[in-house]
Structure 1
């Protein structure tokens, strides 16, 4: 369902289904001498020694679990993890889009949406009681093979989650109505429009149709066709529930602060009465390996030409698939992957590459491709891709390459297992193994396959499966632009009330200063052998000089692209050997360098961390390469309506003179980026990354006595350069009237509406009241805006409001992607909701109570992993909050009053001076938007400048 799913990668964002997919990264093209030469052969003794050393450094990974089955066939998996008072509740149904019939596609996904619309005993939105209970990692998704519903809740609210999940499993038939079907049909169709409105979005309809034979269960997209969705009847939907949603076709996984005894008692209480349902036959493998090359050219509103190569390969659980997973990572994951080095790094003919394994129960696919750099023919990119794959299939990887990727994969797995819920968490991994392989521990066995994989096995798999049988898709820029069997042991008359919120017991913050004044802030957590560090420096792109917009982003992008001691590729290789991850970046007000490392490799990882911070090379070739990528990303941002609006909001709301009056993506403008030189990056580094301007945050398996000497050794002699940090000043632009800015996107199936205004600094308002106010308007699934535009009108797949928290004047805004023919009507509804909130429909006692419960009860889940805890610590440091800020959060939130939140809303929301941005097909929407007479209407061009 993913109502507010924000894309982490361009590929995953383009998916039209709600399935989770892993993108395997980037890559580069002409062969290097090292790749042209035959790989150096090691002796048998050397090879076995290398493999032995690799095995010794790869950690053991397991999830202890218990498995039992209720009388009705429901399989229950239990994993106890007491590090936080939370429990993940994860229900997988063994049904997906492959179980549909031609002409009735989209049912699995449509039904997943319906399952969030209440049940026979709960007559409201599914999210409401769980938001009130403080749930995190809460969603539902559908892919080709399964449908899952999951949430992580405070232990005190476990009964709430189990009641809700069991009620929709056992008490849903009678709640399915024509009205609900029509409503969610419209929501799903808007989701489809939104997906296809994204750059490259239409590719995800074309790939299944052209890679599988007609009638194959994977030959249609999970979201289905508009025609089939229109034709779905109430009888069809009810039959789907009867056939696939019985207890015997489901797996319930409970992971977290729960014992097996508790799990057995609660599973029987809430789920034991539910009928088993009919036995569901499940298909065996149908790989449908292609035996010839098939090509298709298409056009879309995209900024760069992209080539996709799609290969049909074996199913999840096959040893060959694990070997292909390693091959995909070796080819396309990270700077040292074969394709990145060739296409992006050396030849610089592509701005990005990807190779990833899309797994399926009856067959999988490898998707490989690249975005051609502007001005480069796609044929040249394809030639380089094919040459590198052929070379890899002939020679295989080196032992060093394979060992590096194995270590990287295992480190990622260890990191993911910090979570009990959500994608990739412990409950997710256990359920996946049970549903597809009848073995909850299957992931451990598959990791062992990776651990034992040889160079020859990886090469053979590549040669067999990534050959002539391929579909090549080229996307060019458009030149034209039932009743219970026994009585339920749970009271079904009402949803259980969550118990008292568990006391948040975060690690005490420890602070120390190094000899040169750099502050170290530590939060100890010893549940996994991992440490995360972040060096934070005041700055970010608000510190960009107005004639050098984008310098912060480009500087921090290049910072980890090599040091005085390591080239970019050498640095990436060293990190992979250590199973460590390092990144640098910037936000509006902060520049940062982050690292994670296992405790066993922390010392050498810290050497690399310090090398990146203190001794960046800023090599000319790296600057040139990353500059090309940044320029391409500006094109991508402009092509995506939401990021285009984000680019415009800063300048339009704050004005050009203000530090925040910049594209809020941080990427600057094409003109400013093209003008940047190496000296500009060196100067930014000297101004902003200085000891008196920096704090080092540490979270994880260490102590201050252990970590401070290590940091002192590496950073203690760090001294500031002569240049002083520059603080920009500037007055915020005064806007006394509403302005409406229109941007043309010809042919768009949706319009993106964004609106916002600036308000007081964080220090000048009650920020918790701001949080509560925003949650009710549009900050949660059950918020007013979303309920109006998505659930009531079903004009949008999702509408939300947000607060862009800053040290200076903050930004309040709202956005929604809506179907084109409802653009002006949606603007009216958004304005109506904002006006009503300030007028005759302010926040109610019930809304405030629900918001308090949501905000306070989700705190344990928000701080479950070291990565999330690091984020909480960073917020304390950035905004100079008290160390006990999160420990006292619950008490302070519970002190909020309706009157206080109403007063704050009046200080934050200013409908009379809102800036509106509407991106859509002006031929269809402009006349009606102007007729609203909200205020002055200004049409902007591609550069964000007024037309005429």
Structure 2
């Protein structure tokens, strides 16, 4: 829910000429201009012609901080209800519901609730009537939402959104690390609502009064309490007119919003809390009260947190992770309008001693007076943070979402002001906040110690933003990119493909992008069944450790160099491949690519970093071994996996995976790289702002002669059928459960039947929160927070898989399984309607268009297509085939969906009879 703001800021008061009548221009900073309607609605416009999408983000200044006794979780419940049908978007007589409208646009959308705000965002294709329709939807959500009793919960049917939210609560309650963080915060606060989780108490979620909920909506969902952000490809004057047309008729409310006035008193001594639950790891966490996000201390705190928690050079990382006392760090830093709270913790292996980690954690945090921060530490942290600001500023969709936390903290310009404050922070300021806040008397930890003379930290109560922003004008706007619609035809008209001397294939799509951003995707294909036998756990080590240093550059030096070059590089690997993703800017691409080549070809594989990574990987696997979702997925993979132990594609049980990870040696990792790494079977794609001639020359020099000692031979994937198989896995003390059903299919994505089967599954369970499975299990019956189905069809081997997944409370698991199988059978027997098909085809096509407009994803697609000998003509033909599908054709494909007795079904959860009865009783009549 938190967007950690490590981003950009500046101010000015000039606005483009020609604002719509009744619209008052305001501050203008770095390409973002504020306007205000007569009814009080504030509008931020951020035009960006370089990408043919638009992002809308409406932020209401209301969150869990505004909830009264018995109302916890009310703001979050409203977020859910505003996706339900309204009188205007009713789903009747051809009028779409909100979810139908969003899916019909192919939008990527969501809502989120936090302490000080609630927001709704969507990214969708530019052009046509999409923006006008989205604004119409948001205006209706502001003034016309039904907030109907039956949508919340109908006592006669036992269905409604309340049970969906309750299942989301149960999912959170199944994570012991998250629960521990919530308990620490709860103990740290005596009175303020920041001490309560935004999702609320289970009893309040279940028993909330509809009239109080409706009054809450009518009080806060008003134009004078909202800020609308529109970013992307649009004409500014026309967009203003559309905003005024959608929102202008909503009157300014006569009410005055009640101010929240609870002030948390200074903490008067160390506090403690212990959580005892089922889990695979331990956690020690220290929390401290801090200033509001907009306060001048905020920038120094951001730098301090980087100095402490960054890897590999951070002080906590060195003391705890590198020191072998912990497997990883945990940081919870929430951006809040009023005095806030941050937590720093260490995750410790289940069988290790917790006390040494606790002592080391407190020694670093509260011992900074004896070991002051250095100018070099501050410079490094500042560079990392400023890189993040620049990368966010170059992506209009990402920037529009990043403004959410700044708005919640008091003013959208705070996003840019924070960047400039960070640029000016020095070691003295960082040292001052460390000594001010990291004191035992301001700490909440896992124990209590009486103190004769309590010490109180007085946290600043306000940020004084008006004075800070009065003469603030910001910097020059980020340079714009070209308008480019990523259609298959446009991509093919621009892309250039070539092969290097060793056979490595390359695809280049050069275009001017906002901020000069460029993305690269590189994939190495490694080994054969024989050369990889028994090495399935070695491959991930070899790939992950590429980031840990080279033969001439340490891990920290690499990190510093990439930060200076405004670059983000990540490595991933499996049994038979290694992938690299790169983001940087045009002027730094040659230097970044040279560093990446050095990492790939001359890694250091240092022993200390190997041991750190091994401890972390084992701990994550051991933690997963108690989680319902991970256990169910592992059980399915084992049920359907035909490969024997030792085979690179074999799926072991999670405890066996942990044992195999513990057994990996550094020499095995080094040998794996020596024998298997090379580029003769690699593919690379670049998308964005770069010099194509220069890049081709550099790629040839860096990779054109790099070959592996062992040849590559692709291993065919396969599934084995398990008709009628049933597995139930008990996961004690977990508040949520999962049901998974699967069926292997003999199909490839170039089969004639694929398009019809694809769209049939899309209507059954593949749509984003809008499908038959979602309509029934989430929207109608309120049983599941996450529900859907996937059709996984490869380009080779004919080894496809149909998979459905749904979460629920354990006592509802049986209902979920029945409903899932009923909907599957109904689709197979009765098929779909023409209206369903028309809506699905449009939504699916627009979603693909939105996906292609993301440069990083497009680079990955082009790279993978090189290995298949495929161009975007495949996409064009597939989309044309889907667009031309007839209903009979789709329903014939639906008839091929698996029958209930053909499915393999796995369930995981706490199904002990005593716990099921206790949960049902705790729900009262809500969900018997």
Q: TM-score range by the shorter chain?
A: 0.7 to 0.9
Paired position in structure 1 for 2:376: 400
CA distance in 2: counterparts of 1:76 and 1:767, whole angstroms = 44
Paired position in structure 1 for 2:693: 705
1:874/1:417 CA distance change after superposition, 3 Å:
farther
Aligned residues between the structures: 838
Paired position in structure 2 for 1:350: 326
Paired position in structure 1 for 2:808: 818
Q: Is 1:120–1:171's contact at 8 Å kept on the other side of the alignment?
A: yes
Q: Which of 68, 74, 77 is the equivalent residue of 1:107?
A: 74
Q: Is 1:135–1:151's contact at 8 Å kept on the other side of the alignment?
A: yes
Q: State yes or no: 1:524 paired with 2:495.
A: no
Q: State yes or no: 1:612 paired with 2:585.
A: no
Q: What TM-score, normalized to structure 2?
A: 0.85
Q: Is 1:404–1:577's contact at 8 Å kept on the other side of the alignment?
A: no
Following superposition, the deviation at residue 541 of structure 1 comes to: 11
Q: Which of 284, 302, 307 is the equivalent residue of 1:307?
A: 284
1:925/1:391 CA distance change after superposition, 3 Å:
closer
Q: Is 1:134–1:854's contact at 8 Å kept on the other side of the alignment?
A: yes
CA distance in 1: counterparts of 2:771 and 2:637, whole angstroms = 25
CA distance in 2: counterparts of 1:834 and 1:560, whole angstroms = 45
Q: Which of 583, 590, 597 is the equivalent residue of 2:570?
A: 583
CA distance in 2: counterparts of 1:828 and 1:778, whole angstroms = 15
Paired position in structure 2 for 1:757: 743
Q: Is 2:373–2:431's contact at 8 Å kept on the other side of the alignment?
A: yes
Stretch moving more, 855-864 or 218-227: 855-864
1:619/1:792 CA distance change after superposition, 3 Å:
same
Following superposition, the deviation at residue 23 of structure 1 comes to: 11
Q: Which of 820, 826, 833 is the equivalent residue of 1:830?
A: 820
Paired position in structure 1 for 2:359: 383
Paired position in structure 1 for 2:25: none
Following superposition, the deviation at residue 855 of structure 1 comes to: 1.9
Q: Over residues 623-667 of structure 1, what are the superposed CA-to-partner deviations in whole Å (9 max), with x where a residue is unaligned?
A: 333222221111122222212222222221122349685449999
The 5 A counterparts of 1:271-290 are 271-277=247-253, 278-283=255-260, 286=263, 288-290=265-267
1:191/1:859 CA distance change after superposition, 3 Å:
same
Stretch moving more, 291-300 or 889-898: 889-898
1:920/1:374 CA distance change after superposition, 3 Å:
closer
CA distance in 1: counterparts of 2:527 and 2:616, whole angstroms = 19
Q: Over residues 398-436 of structure 1, what are the superposed CA-to-partner deviations in whole Å (9 max), with x where a residue is unaligned?
A: 333322222222222232334433xxx222344544554
Following superposition, the deviation at residue 605 of structure 1 comes to: 2.0
SS at match of 2:59: strand
Stretch moving more, 808-817 or 306-315: 808-817
Stretch moving more, 118-127 or 586-595: 586-595
1:577/1:878 CA distance change after superposition, 3 Å:
same
Q: Over residues 542-576 of structure 1, what are the superposed CA-to-partner deviations in whole Å (9 max), with x where a residue is unaligned?
A: 99956333222222122222222223333333323
Paired position in structure 1 for 2:125: 154
1:804/1:391 CA distance change after superposition, 3 Å:
farther
Gaps of 5+ in 2: 7-27, 92-96, 155-159, 448-484, 918-928
Paired position in structure 2 for 1:673: 661
1:285/1:319 CA distance change after superposition, 3 Å:
farther
Paired position in structure 2 for 1:85: 52
SS at match of 2:806: strand
CA distance in 1: counterparts of 2:360 and 2:669, whole angstroms = 32
Q: State yes or no: 1:893 paired with 2:882.
A: yes
SS at match of 1:584: strand
Q: State yes or no: 1:20 paired with 2:2.
A: yes
CA distance in 1: counterparts of 2:403 and 2:812, whole angstroms = 44
Q: Is 1:757–1:812's contact at 8 Å kept on the other side of the alignment?
A: yes
CA distance in 1: counterparts of 2:144 and 2:665, whole angstroms = 65
Q: Which of 427, 430, 433 is the equivalent residue of 2:400?
A: 427
Q: State yes or no: 1:227 paired with 2:203.
A: yes
CA distance in 2: counterparts of 1:289 and 1:542, whole angstroms = 63
The 5 A counterparts of 1:801-816 are 801-806=789-794, 807-808=796-797, 809-816=799-806
Q: Which of 739, 746, 760 is the equivalent residue of 1:773?
A: 760
1:63/1:74 CA distance change after superposition, 3 Å:
same
Following superposition, the deviation at residue 91 of structure 1 comes to: 1.0
1:375/1:574 CA distance change after superposition, 3 Å:
farther
Q: Over residues 69-93 of structure 1, what are the superposed CA-to-partner deviations in whole Å (9 max), with x where a residue is unaligned?
A: 1121111111111112222111111
Following superposition, the deviation at residue 319 of structure 1 comes to: 1.9
Following superposition, the deviation at residue 583 of structure 1 comes to: 1.7
CA distance in 1: counterparts of 2:897 and 2:568, whole angstroms = 39
Q: What TM-score, normalized to structure 1?
A: 0.83
Paired position in structure 2 for 1:450: 422
Paired position in structure 2 for 1:652: 639
CA distance in 2: counterparts of 1:519 and 1:919, whole angstroms = 44
SS at match of 1:200: helix
CA distance in 1: counterparts of 2:508 and 2:835, whole angstroms = 39
RMSD over aligned Cα atoms: 3.0
1:384/1:205 CA distance change after superposition, 3 Å:
closer
Stretch moving more, 149-158 or 529-538: 529-538
Paired position in structure 2 for 1:919: 908
CA distance in 2: counterparts of 1:597 and 1:415, whole angstroms = 8
Q: Is 1:532–1:870's contact at 8 Å kept on the other side of the alignment?
A: yes
Q: Over residues 489-520 of structure 1, what are the superposed CA-to-partner deviations in whole Å (9 max), with x where a residue is unaligned?
A: xxxxxxxxxxxx99674472211222332222
Q: Is 1:251–1:431's contact at 8 Å kept on the other side of the alignment?
A: no
Q: Over residues 847-903 of structure 1, what are the superposed CA-to-partner deviations in whole Å (9 max), with x where a residue is unaligned?
A: 222122112223443233432332332443354432444455543431233333334
Paired position in structure 2 for 1:595: 582
CA distance in 1: counterparts of 2:742 and 2:440, whole angstroms = 52
The 5 A counterparts of 1:158-237 are 158-172=131-145, 174=146, 176-182=148-154, 183-214=160-191, 216-237=192-213
Q: Which of 490, 497, 502 is the equivalent residue of 1:511?
A: 497
Q: State yes or no: 1:877 paired with 2:849.
A: no
Following superposition, the deviation at residue 323 of structure 1 comes to: 1.0
SS at match of 1:266: helix
1:732/1:249 CA distance change after superposition, 3 Å:
closer
CA distance in 2: counterparts of 1:672 and 1:886, whole angstroms = 40
